[in-house]
Chains A and B, each alone.
Chain A
Amino acid sequence: MTVKSETAAVIDRPRFTGGDIIASSLRSGRTTAPLRSLGLLVIIFAFFSIAAPNFFSTTNVSSLLAFAVPAAMVAVGLTFVIALGEIDLSVASVAALSGIVFIQAQPQGLLVAFIATFATGVACGLFTGLATTLLGVPSLVSSLAMLFIAQGIAFVLASQPITGTRLDVTIFFQQPIGPVLNVRILLGLAVVVAAAIILGLTPLGRALYARGSNPRGVKSIGLPSKSLVIGAFSASGLLAAFAGSIIAIGLNSASPVVGGDLLLLAIAACLIGGSRLEGGTGSVIGTTLALIALLSLQSGMDQLGVSAYIQQVVRGAVVLIALLAASPASFGGIHLASLRNRFTRTHTER
Chain B
Amino acid sequence: MSRRSELPLDRIIRGSSVGRIMTRIAFAVVMLIIIAPFFVMLTTALENNRAISELPPVWWPHHNAMDFSVISVRDGLRGET
Do A and B make up one complex? no
Q: Which A residues are within 8 Å of any B CB, using their own CB?
A: none
Q: Which B residues are within 8 Å of any A CB, using their own CB?
A: none
